[in-house]
Amino acid sequence: MNLIKTTTKKQWFARNAESLPPYRGEGKKTGTPPSKHRLHDACITLVLLLLATIFSFLYFGISHNSANVALLYILALILIARLTDNYFWGIFAALIGVVCVNFLFTYPYWALNFTLAGYPVTFIVMLAISLLTSASTTHMKQQMLVIAERERLLVEAEKEKMRANLLRAISHDLRTPLTSIIGSSTSYLENGSYLNEDQKRKLVGQIHEDSNWLLNMVENLLSVTRIQDGAANVSKSWESVEEVVSEAVIRLKKRLPDAQITVQVPDDFLMIPMDAILIEQVLINLLENAVLHSGSQHPIACSVESRSDCVCFHVRDYGIGIAPNKRKTLFDGAPYTGNTSPDSSKGMGIGLSICKTIITAHKGTIDAVNREPGTEFFFTLPKA
């Protein structure tokens, strides 16, 4: 119940992020005391004014033109307004700049003369530049904070949606094999004396098959735990594509000895950065889905294609295909078996959802298309 409430709240924030007021408490958000922000802004202001004064002395010593000296202080003023947090430092810099131009670079030198023609205009222009620049940069910073917060809320909402889909898929995929195991074991225990050897072997075989399915699900869930921060990082190393495909096929054949799979890899030796265990799990999920849900006795085709910037893995079956209305939600974790009775066999939704999570963590893509006949799943992994 708490999960549902949390998900709803975060989804509400994601939908209403545009209407949220701009965040103004940057010091509180980052945990930095306001006094340190003020000290930081004061240091920036003093350093830029000092640099403007030094360059003005150098320029004035060469050209003796005080008109262009004001431009150096205006440049410093723009930088101060851009790098500090409020209007105070821009206004302060405008006052200091006007005083420095009057005191240091206008005759009589080293003396203030407020009766000079154009002095009020210079001060008003510099003050206007300060206010406009400070206002525009402050607005821009507020917009950046709003955008960052909105993106964070959307990411959190997407994570909650993925967790909800995963839990829903797990509940479905757990219920079906567990019900079968309980039913078969109950029949064996209660009616064992009335069953012949073939019937007993069939019941034990069903229990064995469903137990392997549950083991595969646990391996999928353990694979997800290897991905940190919701599909943000994986531990990559340079791995041989041929060896990863071979290991995936060998592991699947141990689970499904009767599975017929043809493999085709490029003649060139391919090495790409990946988490080999996770990519093997993706291949196993796709191959197992093709064997169990395609409804075809034709061998499953697994091939690897080398492209300019990535390597593409293909898993092709020759079965019943995917219903068009299921394409958009195929990787969302919704249980889907490829037939009209979702509970007639164990679904493949959780496996495909985990496949997408793993491939996304590798900065790759995954998709599926219907062929004539059958379905082809494919995913890409970048070479670099």
Is 151 in the same domain as 231? no
Is 131 in the same domain as 237? no
Asked if the model's pLDDT at residue 205 lies above 80, the reply is yes
Asked if the model's pLDDT at residue 63 lies above 60, the reply is yes
Q: What is the pLDDT of residues 80-128, one digit of tens each?
A: 877 887 778 877 887 787 778 778 877 777 777 666 666 667 667 766 7
Q: What is the pLDDT of residues 131-178, one digit of tens each?
A: 777 777 777 878 888 898 898 888 888 777 766 766 666 666 677 778
The better pLDDT of the pair 193, 163 is held by 193
Is 275 in the same domain as 143? no
Which positions ≥6 away from 289 have C-beta within 8 Å?
Answer: 348, 351, 352, 377
- Tell me the residue type at 268: D
Q: In whole numbers, what is the pLDDT of the chain averaged over residues? A: 77
Asked if the model's pLDDT at residue 231 lies above 60, the reply is no
| CA neighbor of 216 nearest in space, from 285, 271, 153, 151 | 285
Query: What does the DSSP 8-state code read for residue 115?
Result: T
Query: Which among 54-68, 161-175, 187-201, 299-313 has the top mean pLDDT?
Result: 299-313
Domain annotation covers residue 90: yes
Greatest distance between any 2 Cα atoms in the chain: 120
Q: Which residues of 214-236 are buried (b: 16+ CB within 10 A; e: fewer)?
A: eebbebbeebbeebeebbeebeb
The dihedral built from the CA positions of residue 290, 292, 293 and 294, taken in this order, carries a sign that is positive
Domain boundary (104, 139, 156) is at 156
Is 135 in the same domain as 242? no
Residue the block writes with tokens 């205009």:
121
Domain boundary (127, 156, 185) is at 156
Q: State which residues form the domain around 62.
A: 2-156
Gap between the Cα atoms of 203 and 195, Å rounded: 10
Domain boundary (128, 156, 184) is at 156
pLDDT category at 379 given cuts 50, 70, 90 is very high
Domain annotation covers residue 249: yes
Domain annotation covers residue 100: yes
- Report the 10 Å Cβ neighbour count for 315: 23
The better pLDDT of the pair 25, 287 is held by 287
What's the CATH code of the domain at 233? 3.30.565.10
Is 133 in the same domain as 281? no
Domain annotation covers residue 188: no
- Two tokens at 17? 């992020």
Is 375 in the same domain as 266? yes
Q: What are phi and psi of 272, to 5 degrees?
A: -135, 155
Is 334 in the same domain as 243? yes
Asked if the model's pLDDT at residue 226 lies above 70, the reply is no
The count of structural domains within the chain is 2
Residue 5: the pLDDT is: 39
Residue 34: the pLDDT is: 64
- Two tokens at 275? 């988490």
Domain annotation covers residue 163: no
Is 118 in the same domain as 237? no
Judge residue 18's burial from the number of C-beta atoms within 10 Å of its C-beta, 0-12 exposed, 13-18 middle, 19 or more buried.
exposed
Is 43 in the same domain as 137? yes
- H/E element, 117: none
Its pTM stands at 0.51
Q: What percentage of the chain carries pLDDT values higher than 90?
A: 14
Gap between the Cα atoms of 53 and 372, Å rounded: 76
Which positions ≥6 away from 57 have C-beta within 8 Å?
Answer: 104
Domain annotation covers residue 333: yes
Domain annotation covers residue 270: yes
Q: What percentage of the chain carries pLDDT values higher than 70?
A: 75
Is 233 in the same domain as 365? yes
Query: What does the DSSP 8-state code read for residue 377?
Result: E
Is 235 in the same domain as 123? no
Is 232 in the same domain as 375? yes
Domain annotation covers residue 162: no
